[in-house]
Amino acid sequence: MKSRLLFALFFLSLGADLVLIGPHPDWRMLPAALVAWYVADMVSGLVHMYMDYRPCIPGTGVRELYFWEGPRDSPEFRALQATVYTRISTFERIVYDFKRHHPNPDQLGRNGNFQLMKEPVFLSTLPVSLLLNLVFLLVPTPGWLIVGVVVLILGASMTQVFHATLHRRDVGFVVRAMRRLGLLMSVSAHQLHHDTLRKDFSVISGWSNPAVNLCATLLLRIGALRSEGLEPT
């Protein structure tokens, strides 16, 4: 019930921003939306890169979870998982989930959309959206800028939803149409990341991958990103 109320508040917050735009469209709204989509894609890539390479805290049992060889639906695994999750923070669990995704990519696609949106919405984009509601009410803001902000917040909130569609067979008409328009990346483009784990971290449109790849190459070269961080130690 609490989650439903928070999601309702989130979408009402975005709707309130759109109401503030008014009835008159502005030609700058389209380029603002496209720029915001690019920025959301870049944010997805930079966060993905950081999470992939950030080392897990040793001694918490995360390594045992990651390298578990038995069935993951067994009572033994679930008991161990519950114990480990009590030892680590929500952030550390998210880091672990990013790493677990590589050897088990299809698992992400089995999660529901609202489940995939819970952490980014509740931890970051909902508070930001509510704060911006107040800013837009107090400070006259161009409609095109509000459109850009709404697109950025929505894209950031749905990053893992779009990521999950890259690991599903049935993605629906809307996702297929957005792929044809180039607004969402293809499965084959995302597979390049899984093949190397060193490039193509962005998971929305992939537009920002060239820039993110340059960043990743530099960080790997100077040792700021180390391959040891890809798996729990």
Question: Where are the chain's structural domains?
Answer: 2-225
What is the rounded average pLDDT of the residues 13-17? 95
Residue 148 has pLDDT above 90, yes or no: yes
E strand or H helix that includes residue 144: helix 143-157
Per-residue pLDDT band at 12 (split at 50, 70, 90): very high
Cβ atoms within 10 A of the Cβ of 74, count?
Answer: 11
Predicted confidence band at 233 (pLDDT cuts at 50, 70, 90)? confident
* 49-63 average pLDDT score: 94
Q: At 155, is the pLDDT very low, low, confident or very high (cuts 50, 70, 90)?
A: very high
Tens-digit pLDDT profile for residues 197-227: 999 999 999 999 999 999 999 999 999 999 9
* Average pLDDT rounded to a whole number, residues 150-173: 95
Which of 55, 33, 56 is closest to 152 using CA atoms?
A: 33
d(CA 76, CA 71): 9
pLDDT at 1: 77
The type of residue at 230 is: L
Question: What average pLDDT does the segment 62-84 reach?
Answer: 91
Query: What CA–CA distance (Å, rounded) separates 174 from 54?
Result: 34
pLDDT of res. 24: 79
For 228, what's the count of Cα atoms within 13 Å in the CB-facing half-sphere? 7
Rounded to an integer, the average pLDDT of 83-91 is 93
Phi then psi for 35, rounded to 5 degrees?
-65, -40
Percent over 70 (pLDDT), the chain: 100
Among residues 1, 92, 40, the alpha carbon closest in space to that of 204 is found at 40
Whether 166 and 49 have beta carbons less than 8 Å apart is answered as: no
Q: What is the pLDDT of residue 157?
A: 97
Give the residue from 102, 203, 223 showing the smallest Cα distance to 158: 203
Q: What is the mean pLDDT of residues 23-30?
A: 89
